[in-house]
Structure 1
Amino acid sequence: MAIGRQDWIARWTNIGDHHCLLGESNIKNGAVDEATEAWLCALTAFEVARRLVDEDDTRSADLSDRVVMGIQRLKSSLVRQIEQVKIAPCDESELLAYYLPAGDADAPAPAIICISMENETGATLLGRLLPVVIGRGMSVLVISHDDIPHQSRGQSEALLSCCLEYLSVRPDVDAARIGVFGEGLSAALATDLAASDRSVAAAVCDGGLWNWTRTRASISWITRAVDGAVERDATSARRAQLKCPALVVTGGRGIVSLSEAIRLQADCIAAGADLDLAVPRIIRSPGAEIENFVTSDDSIFGWLEHKLSSASGIGKVDQIITGDLAPRA
């Protein structure tokens, strides 16, 4: 690891620690809004540092602990409290999730099921998303990819359907405006949920590309060739999966390549489906490529906010968006 990168890790960690102290000072002085802002800045700084360290670096766990502590500090300043809730599927096992409400019984709000990347905790994803979602008027239910059973698509869909049902019966959630957001392999889980349940109003997902690629590879292995009929059937299957507006994030830490996503979008346009693409900005440094998650997340949740804002806000947009082309409303 380059010395310069080591310096950046220390610098961003120190920035996060400084904002934590600033938040504590503000809360003691009764400046609640300023404390909230400082703690949100700390969470972003810790996430930057976390992405700079290697997964097997001991500092990765230390930074994750700092994120958890930052979430705990925010509980003293947020008007609507972060809750740890239990989702109880039919098999009586329990899934622990984080929930941040944005509405109430008199004014139910849209809600997003947010599924972390593989090997990423729900707390880590929540810490990254809090600076993005607070103030947008959308509730979020955050779960970890690793807590979802993966023995079969049916099991994962059943558990995510329980999350959908949990939100739909909450009085502070508008059941007609529930979306799903998945990162990494969880983008495929988000597609499966949106494809299996028409009550999902918007999805940030892989558009079915992960399962389509695996199916195509299996067919190729069995037949040693993919003829035109099989290719047409696979393409039709991709289109059929998208029952709601979808945003496919390409490149970065995701599982979808830009070329695949562009072909998928062309298929969807031809079929009259509503699909947009987002291309995160990548910062290249010696020995590493770092996704600018701040602009990417703002773009993604700006898209969700637009799609879930009202029935009239769900329209067809045939374009590719980048981190700075979806301004926050």
Structure 2
Amino acid sequence: MREWIKTADISSARADTALADGNILAARSHWLRAMNYYQASAFPFGPADDGYEGAIASMRRCAANYVRHATPRGEVVQIAWPGGYPLQGYFLPTPRATGRAPAVICVAEPGQRKEEFLYKAAHYARDRGIAMLAVDLFGAEADAAFEEVVGRRDLEATVGCMMDYLVERDDIDGDGIAILADGMRSSFVARGIAFDDRYAAAVCDGGLWDLHEREFLRDRVAQHDPSLKIRPTLSRAARNIKCPVLIPAGEPGWLEPARVTELYEQLKADGRDVTLKLFTNKETAVSEGHAGGPTLANEFIFDWIESRLGLTALHGRRWDAAARRGRDA
């Protein structure tokens, strides 16, 4: 931890120097680098370890500096969640917008941190004219009781709270909001969108984990009483998801590819608007959260989001109009 923090401190100091010299782009680059090193230093440890809270606080400070010096300027926001546990988020508006803009909510799975989205997803959203809200479940305060929160039975309620925040903004198109869950560690985002039909598109597990778990438990019970074996049925969450869903998965991922495909086919057979993208071992986006090749995964994911939000044709018309203006000049 000590060496990672030392490296992070150096990058943070370089960012401050660059800012003082008026070199905003260099400062933002150094803040991103420092943020990653602080996160790496804290990752294997917990709040009881020396240096953990300091590393997390420094990581958040660098992320906040990065967001507030973006062009256009971003914001560090708080999102209300019943129970006295506000969530913290980073909001980055789109530089292209005139009026209300589409948006994507990037949700960190339990245990992941929202700061990752600043380097993994922000520029893909920006380049497509999409505002981004990055949120995690660690809360707004450094000493928030995360372990207690992830055990709450209403965890999926956070998904509605994030939407509530965005639709109340006067710069966001409430009919053009997508949600992206990075990784396949849980179905809480799928459960959240199942009972909130305001989302225009979603990238998550689509309820596969819930479906797999239901079938596993059903088969265990049937071993003791074969008469209880019943036809597979979708979970309540999977049946109620109304928006288009993309399920990005890696070949050596949380389930065998054949099993993922089998569950996906069940969703399709039930009439769900769902797309499966299985990254193979020949590609580099196969690991959890596509950490081995985030560029490959994110290009596919954000192109899919762009098309589902109806932006592909819109951007094409804008580019054609710009080209015509150039020819007429």
Q: TM-score scaled by structure 2? A: 0.69
2-structure distance, mates of 1:194, 1:139 = 19
Cα contact 1:209–1:238 (8 A) shared by 2: no
The verdict on how the C-alpha distance between 1:175 and 1:11 changes in structure 2, with shifts beyond 3 A counting, is: same
Matched with 1:192 is: 191
Q: Does 1:31 align with 2:23?
A: yes
Q: Does 1:87 align with 2:79?
A: yes
Matched with 1:96 is: 87
1-structure distance, mates of 2:294, 2:37 = 11
1-structure distance, mates of 2:50, 2:67 = 27
Q: Which moved more, 1:257-266 or 1:194-203?
A: 257-266
How far is the alpha carbon of 1:173 from its aligned partner? Answer: 0.9
2-structure distance, mates of 1:116, 1:40 = 18
- Which protein shows a greater Rg? 2
SS at match of 2:110: coil
Matched with 2:210 is: 211
1-structure distance, mates of 2:226, 2:305 = 36
The amino acid that maps onto 2:273 is A
Q: Deviations over 1:127-159 (max 9, x none)?
A: 65445545443233333235556443xx23433
SS at match of 1:174: strand
Matched with 2:160 is: 161
How far is the alpha carbon of 1:164 from its aligned partner? Answer: 1.2
Q: Does 1:178 align with 2:181?
A: no
Q: Does 1:142 align with 2:134?
A: yes
The amino acid that maps onto 1:208 is G
Matched with 1:327 is: none
Matched with 2:100 is: 108
The amino acid that maps onto 2:221 is I
Cα contact 1:20–1:38 (8 A) shared by 2: yes
The amino acid that maps onto 2:137 is H
1-structure distance, mates of 2:302, 2:3 = 29
The amino acid that maps onto 2:301 is I
1-structure distance, mates of 2:58, 2:251 = 25
SS at match of 1:200: coil
Cα contact 1:182–1:190 (8 A) shared by 2: yes
Matched with 1:281 is: 284
Cα contact 1:111–1:141 (8 A) shared by 2: yes
Cα contact 2:155–2:188 (8 A) shared by 1: yes
Q: Deviations over 1:40-85 (max 9, x none)?
A: 35545666x459x644686876654443232133255223444333
2-structure distance, mates of 1:209, 1:196 = 16
The verdict on how the C-alpha distance between 1:58 and 1:294 changes in structure 2, with shifts beyond 3 A counting, is: farther
The amino acid that maps onto 1:258 is P
Cα contact 1:101–1:172 (8 A) shared by 2: no
SS at match of 2:233: helix
The verdict on how the C-alpha distance between 1:151 and 1:36 changes in structure 2, with shifts beyond 3 A counting, is: closer
The verdict on how the C-alpha distance between 1:18 and 1:304 changes in structure 2, with shifts beyond 3 A counting, is: farther
1-structure distance, mates of 2:232, 2:54 = 49
How far is the alpha carbon of 1:208 from its aligned partner? Answer: 0.8
The verdict on how the C-alpha distance between 1:183 and 1:106 changes in structure 2, with shifts beyond 3 A counting, is: closer
How far is the alpha carbon of 1:202 from its aligned partner? Answer: 1.2
How far is the alpha carbon of 1:209 from its aligned partner? Answer: 1.3
The amino acid that maps onto 1:250 is A
1-structure distance, mates of 2:220, 2:111 = 30
1:170-319 equivalences in 2 (<5 Å): 170-184=169-183, 187-224=186-223, 230-234=230-234, 240-251=239-250, 255-270=254-269, 271=271, 273-279=273-279, 281=284, 291-292=291-292, 294-295=294-295, 296-310=297-311
2-structure distance, mates of 1:83, 1:308 = 24
Cα contact 2:252–2:286 (8 A) shared by 1: no
Cα contact 1:248–1:276 (8 A) shared by 2: yes
* Same amino acid, percent of matched pairs: 21
2-structure distance, mates of 1:193, 1:252 = 26
Cα contact 1:187–1:204 (8 A) shared by 2: no
SS at match of 1:244: coil
Q: Which moved more, 1:115-124 or 1:208-217?
A: 115-124
1-structure distance, mates of 2:186, 2:204 = 4
SS at match of 2:174: strand
The amino acid that maps onto 1:160 is V
SS at match of 2:134: strand
Q: Does 1:73 align with 2:65?
A: yes
The verdict on how the C-alpha distance between 1:299 and 1:68 changes in structure 2, with shifts beyond 3 A counting, is: farther
